[in-house]
């Protein structure tokens, strides 16, 4: 129940990043946007994500995981209203930036909080609930976009406004969940932490509390501490994985799917182009269910290697498909669906799980903030350059670049990434000793 409530932030995350896919085709018409302005409309949210991720670690270490998540829920709601009511492109961009701040905070805190309240034996599955919630939000956004696309030029406003409902649901739900026991230990509230650990770990609560206390005493959190010799490797690895998760190109499908369908395949109406995304969202959703079942059985590394390897092939085939004068619609859709499916099984949840696992308790908030900031910078760069890159080196060249990034990801996981399946957070810490 605790993880399900926290994962509502993932649902909002998924909805907010995907709703722009369907709204863009209407925004371009209403505000007469150029390609560059279209890129800014899609990426203004991600600029906010960078800011949110940068402050999330400091806020969570100072005020607690639960309180900061509640604040982000309110910001989600306010930004949704703001994005639904703009009179010009600038007002829209400001509202989306504010929503991005909420996403940046929640994207770091939700998996962190879930990892800290989860038993080791099922932690990967529970933290992956956040990814499940993200893809549920994406599917929900695509379905809302498609249903509202038949309501004329003002339907896009309702696409954004509807996010107020789950935002308030998250805010209310957080009143019924406990604070992170590991954060409570940091605040010298071990008795409160033990009460929560008894519900999570049962008979092992006392031993887990002792391990957490030892870990907290050994660490003194400061951003400079992240450059200590034993933390350099996990920091470099998580930043690399966070960046590569984005620049493998998945957001080109999630953000620009409707525009790709309209421009490259031709003849698609707004509604039919948006409707094609519903299929992508459904595959994304179903593949993430598979990931939940596999991640604590097969481990993180095998899924990440399978995902990055298959994505390399899919992105290459997708690029080659656009060499045809009339690209085969079924081939394009098939490549998109397979790319999204393998991402959802591996790179999607796996990177978030590793980011929540690889650091010691005392620096986990700040370390994840650094990794999340890197992730959102990469996502912003990808999103704000896609249309320009496709114009400069053709859409085939763009997808070939993303394919190369997938190959690099495969080798980094194969050569440098440890397996964390079944290990407690304190056991994982000893990997870097």
pLDDT, tens digit (0-9, with 9 covering 90-100), for 138-193:
889 889 888 887 776 778 899 999 999 989 988 998 888 888 888 888 888 888 88
Looking at residue 43, which CATH number applies to its domain? 1.20.1250.20
The two three-digit tokens of residue 175, written as one number: 């009143």
Residues 285-305 have pLDDT tens digits of 999 889 888 888 888 899 999
How many domains is the chain built from?
A: 1
| CA-closest candidate to residue 280, choices 225, 341, 208 | 341
**What's the chain's average pLDDT?**
84
Is the Cβ–Cβ distance between 142 and 277 less than 8 Å? yes
Q: What is the mean pLDDT of residues 327-336?
A: 85
d(CA 291, CA 347): 10
pLDDT given for residue 301 in this prediction: 93
Measure the CA–CA gap between 251 and 379, rounded to whole angstroms.
8
State which residues form the domain around 266. Answer: 2-432
Identify the pLDDT of residue 77: 93
What is the per-residue pLDDT for 64?
87
What's the alpha-carbon Rg for the chain, to the nearest Å? 21
Structural tokens at position 249? 């190109």
What integer pLDDT is reported at residue 240 of this predicted model? 95
**What is the average per-residue pLDDT within 417-433?**
80
- What pTM, to 2 d.p., does this model score? 0.75
Tell me: pLDDT of 264 over 70.
Answer: no
> Which of the pair, 144 or 260, is modelled with greater confidence?
144
> Of 78, 69, 75, 64, nearest to 5 (Cα)?
69
Q: Is it the case that residue 123 has pLDDT exceeding 60?
A: yes
Q: Is the pLDDT of residue 361 over 70?
A: no
> What's the pLDDT score for residue 220?
53
Region 90-95: what's the mean pLDDT? 93
């Amino acid at each position: 129940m605790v993880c399900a409530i926290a994962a509502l932030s993932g649902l909002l995350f998924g909805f907010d990043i995907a709703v722009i896919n369907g709204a863009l085709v209407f925004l371009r018409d209403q505000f007469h946007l150029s390609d560059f302005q279209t890129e800014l409309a899609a990426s203004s949210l991600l600029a906010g994500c960078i800011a949110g991720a940068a402050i999330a670690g400091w806020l969570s270490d100072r005020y607690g995981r639960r309180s900061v998540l509640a604040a982000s829920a309110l910001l989600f709601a306010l930004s949704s209203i703001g994005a639904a009511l703009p009179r010009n492109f600038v007002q829209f961009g400001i509202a989306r930036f504010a929503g991005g701040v909420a996403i940046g905070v929640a994207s770091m805190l939700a998996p962190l909080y879930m990892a800290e309240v989860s038993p080791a034996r099922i932690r990967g599955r529970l933290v992956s609930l956040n990814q499940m919630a993200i893809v549920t939000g994406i599917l929900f956004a695509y379905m809302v976009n498609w249903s509202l696309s038949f309501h004329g030029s003002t339907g896009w406003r309702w696409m954004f406004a509807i996010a107020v409902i789950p935002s308030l649901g998250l805010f209310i739900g957080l009143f019924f969940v406990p604070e992170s026991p590991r954060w409570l230990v940091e605040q010298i509230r071990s008795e409160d932490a033990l009460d929560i650990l008894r519900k999570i770990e049962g008979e092992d609560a006392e031993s887990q509390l002792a391990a957490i206390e030892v870990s907290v005493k050994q660490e003194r959190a400061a951003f400079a501490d992240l450059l200590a010799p034993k933390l350099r490797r996990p920091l470099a690895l998580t930043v690399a994985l966070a960046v590569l998760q984005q620049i493998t190109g998945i957001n080109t499908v999630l953000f620009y799917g409707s525009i790709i369908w309209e421009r490259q395949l031709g003849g698609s109406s707004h509604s039919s182009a948006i409707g094609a995304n519903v299929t992508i969202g459904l595959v994304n959703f179903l593949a993430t269910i598979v990931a939940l079942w596999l991640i604590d059985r097969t481990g993180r590394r095998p899924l990440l290697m399978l995902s990055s390897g298959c994505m390399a092939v899919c992105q290459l085939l997708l690029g080659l498909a656009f060499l045809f004068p009339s690209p085969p619609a079924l081939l394009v859709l098939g490549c998109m669906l397979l790319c999204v499916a393998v991402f959802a099984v591996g790179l999607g949840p796996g990177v978030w799980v590793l980011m929540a696992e690889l650091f010691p308790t005392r620096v986990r908030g700040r370390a994840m903030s650094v990794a999340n900031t890197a992730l959102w910078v990469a996502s912003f760069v990808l999103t704000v350059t896609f249309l320009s890159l496709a114009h400069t080196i053709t859409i085939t060249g763009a997808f070939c670049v993303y394919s190369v990034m997938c190959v690099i990801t495969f080798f980094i996981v194969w050569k440098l990434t440890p397996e964390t399946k079944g290990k407690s957070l304190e056991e994982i810490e000893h990997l870097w000793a």
